[in-house]
Amino acid sequence: MADLAVDFLLQNLQRLQIYHPDLIRDAENHLEMLENNLRLFKAFLKDSTKKLRKYESVRELARQIRDVVFEAEDTIDAFVSQAAESKTKNYFLRAFQAPAEKILAIAKDVESVGLKVRDIYGDRSTIDFAGVHINDDELEEGPLVRKHKNVVGVEDEAEKIIGYLREKTDELDIISIIGMPGLGKTTLAAKVFRDPAIEYEFRTRIWVSVSADFEPKNVFLDILREFTNLTEDMYRKSNEELARLIAFYLGSRGHFLIVMDDVWTPDDWDKIQIALPKSNNMGKVLITSRNYEVARASNRNRVPHKLRFLKPDESWLLLLFEVFGKPECPPELEGLTKVISGQCDGLPLAIVVVGGILVRKILASDGITAMKDKWRKVSRSLSMYLNEDPVGRMEKVISLNYDGMPYHLRMCLLYLRMFPEDFEIPVWKLIRMWMAEGFVQQKAGLGLEEVAESYLEDLISRNMVIADKRNVNGRVKTCRSHDMILDFCKYEAGKQGENFLQEMKKLIDGGFEPPISELQRYRRLCIHSNVLNFISSKPFGPRVRSFVCFSRDEIIMPIENISDIPTAFKLVRVLDVNPIKFNRIPSELYHLVHLRYVALSFINVAILPAAFSKLWNLETLIFFTTSRTLEVKADIWEMIHLRHLKTNASATLHKKGKSNEGGENLQTLGTISPESCTEEVFDRACNLKKLSIRGQLALILDGQEGSFHSFHKLDQLEKLKLLNDIFSGPPSKGKLSVLPPPNKFPPRLRSLTLSDTFLDWSQMSILGLLENLEILKLRHKSFMGKYWETADGGFRRLETLHIERVNLVSWVASSHHFPRLRHLHLRNCDELRELPPGLADIPSLHLLELHLTKFAVASAKIIYVAKQKQQEEQAAKVSGFKLSIFPPDD
């Protein structure tokens, strides 16, 4: 952690000197001394690789560096925060006459540690630094290896579970999968859940993650989300009322399957099972648990399915898939790979994690001889753990993988503990938090977001993070990590006095763990339940740099507590409390000048005040409000570090900045009003990659306030949303008659979403000519008309087509109209009579989803049968085809 802290402090000092020299006037010489020592620390920490950790003097000095850098960072940040606040109150000069003295005191503390570093560098007789380089094989980095995950050794187990699920019973049937952590319970349940036969038989399928700290209400709300949109009234209902509502829905659904993943105790099961309709003999519940008593409590009439360990040949096969991506092994490595797989004792998670280690050794080796030497070192390390119990051995294997990571990757992994267990983490959110924390390092030719994505792919390739969902071009959308890896992260984040992060939990006696009085120790805090109790206790975390809340409940912040969060965490860099709804913006928020990432939600707030411009470090601003419009009085062009501005309202931008500069760092802008789509805005925000527009789109197309001809200047734009506002006037006024010609659209446009545009289907031919379009989402009434005949020669690269809430009756198309189509989603197209039969002949099509599109179900089934026949005839060439229909067509 220390080396990243040094890097971040250096960056902060440079940013301070460039953009706010008035806050540190007359301190140039002291800053130079401080920066010189920080660069010395950086060099020393790069030299202090795992090879040198055997020297206690090195370890102790690394701890001292960490502590003095944290202390320097805290002191400087606190001083800057106070100075900025005082400056806004017009008594800056009177209150802060001597910033140089403060920086001198810090520089002297840092210098005292710097002398110790120089002493070590001078004493080569005690410590040998020879041959140690930043790219040492103990900290491997390199090109990423993308692998398709393979499930090995569970085929027979999956067949048994599928057989149980297809059995006929007299009442609700409950099946349990039991086994120790890391044995693959969730993997097996997921394989069964996604099996095409199960998908077809159980059209209502729900996956619920329970975990140790579950709240019954959250589980119930998760289930209800599958049936209906959640209302405020539902959040107010008791657990018993929610359970009755679920039982009603499930009782009327016929065949359904619910997976309850990771149920810990019989008491937990008792709290959940009240929502299940016991009389529905077409319903099935699949439980995974470490606890045999959970299985007994859930169904005494069925023997639990106890998951076995992998056999030696299965262990070896899984290792080959993880390392080489195929069930083949170079002859000279066969013996060694069998030894290593055997050392994992049939534990799938251990094999997967070890596979991630071996892959990195391949990337860091020059030739097979060097690679074998490194693999033998891994084997020797594993042999040291053979006497451990299986869980202890698994923990050691995870630690071995972790120790081989560069420091920035370690911090990125530990940060996952900021999210709740079993939380599907949005990648766009995660990587922007990493950036705000300073974990992401600049690389030539790449943007910070691209570097951060490469970090995530690196963690995935090491099998420390799981890619839950990817989009059509392979980029990860959501991710998570295994429970055992998260438990390891929790331990690692709190050891050695690092106090990297801490989750706040309420105790039975009403207090919190850790106690509120100890918050001054921690640098990152998260809380996901009992949030108002925590806030009302007046916490104070003077060192906290991240404070996040991902509660599943919507929380209305009482008026008397609105200022408590910004008052409690004055040095915060990351603030994400989106579940908390504020009735007004706390003025204390504008004093948080170190904020780099902020996500807030408001009720009926229609103005983004000018005072937001004071947050000069801000990189990501997420501002949600129940107001349909947002007047942005803040001068975003003066916020020169701002990269992402995201709101759900139609935002009207501040039109004039103090200069003609600013905006070149903006990558995400949305949603903004059509009136804000001016040539001046697009000239400034010339590097936009994502743009969302909401309002009267006719203003753009008619050229009254802005004009679509400016859009072609956005040559970096990849994602565009055009959301027409039909609420501010009669529907006839909001209708669009034509789309701009293809050459007026941004040239790199890859994803396009339209909503409420009321276009005629003939206009689809224009969209078909967008050369790079891969994703097209036609939302509510984007196109209107009974007949659509797809024109020839278009949609050459389209991979995903989403059509929702249109009045289309007849659709004529052939396979050559969508040569690369992979996903077709139809939602609420309740007048569509049938799907074009030619869709079955698109080789790439492997997902067809119909939601409330009942008349087209019969034609969808014909396509499914045709695809199944193709798969049987060309099994090696055609991937599995999935058909999803809701509601179930029993």
8 Å CB contact between 264 and 238: no
d(CA 836, CA 362) in angstroms, rounded, equals: 49
* Strand order through the sheet with 466-470: 425-426, 476-480, 466-470
Task: Classify domain 155-306 at the CATH class level.
Answer: alpha beta
Task: Classify domain 604-784 at the CATH class level.
Answer: alpha beta
Angle among Cα 443, 444, 447 to the nearest 5 degrees reads: 65
d(CA 559, CA 569) in angstroms, rounded, equals: 18
Please state whether the predicted TM-score (pTM) of the whole model is above 0.95: no
Ordered by start, the domain boundaries in the chain are 2-122, 155-306, 312-403, 407-495, 604-784, 794-890
Query: Residue 474: phi, psi to the nearest 5?
Result: 90, -5
Residue 192 one-letter amino acid: V
Report, as ranges of residue numbers, the positions in the chain whose pLDDT lies below 50.
51, 92-97, 124-140, 142-148, 703-706, 877-878
Query: Residue 300: phi, psi to the nearest 5?
Result: -80, -5
The DSSP result for 632-701, as a single string, is: E-S-TTT-TT--EEEEEEEEEPP---SSS---TT--EEEEE-GGG--HHHHHHTTT-SEEEEEE-THHHH
Estimate to the nearest angstrom the gap between the alpha carbon of 265 and the chain centroid. Answer: 29
Query: Residue 183: phi, psi to the nearest 5?
Result: -85, -15
d(CA 542, CA 395) in angstroms, rounded, equals: 33
Structure confidence at residue 889 (pLDDT): 65
Residue 707 one-letter amino acid: S
d(CA 778, CA 73) in angstroms, rounded, equals: 49
Q: Maximum CA pair distance of the chain? A: 86
Structure confidence at residue 95 (pLDDT): 44
Q: How far is CA 620 from CA 434, 639, 642, in A?
A: 11, 11, 6
- In terms of C-beta density within 10 A (0-12 exposed, 13-18 middle, 19 or more buried), how is residue 396 classed? middle
8 Å CB contact between 134 and 50: no
Torsion on CA atoms 742, 747, 753, 757, rounded to nearest 10: -30
Residue 503 one-letter amino acid: E
Q: Identify the architecture of domain 407-495 in CATH.
A: Orthogonal Bundle (1.10)
Structure confidence at residue 537 (pLDDT): 92
d(CA 94, CA 86) in angstroms, rounded, equals: 9
* Residue 278 tokens, joined: 């016991």
Closest-CA residue to 461 (of 370, 328, 353): 353
User: What residue has token string 């429970």?
Assistant: 483
Structure confidence at residue 659 (pLDDT): 60
Structure confidence at residue 142 (pLDDT): 46
Residue 618 one-letter amino acid: L
Q: How many CB atoms lie within 10 A of CB 236?
A: 8
- Domains 407-495 and 604-784 in one fold: no
Helices 99-122 and 56-88: crossing angle in degrees, nearest 10, is 170
Structure confidence at residue 767 (pLDDT): 97
Helices 348-363 and 368-383: crossing angle in degrees, nearest 10, is 150
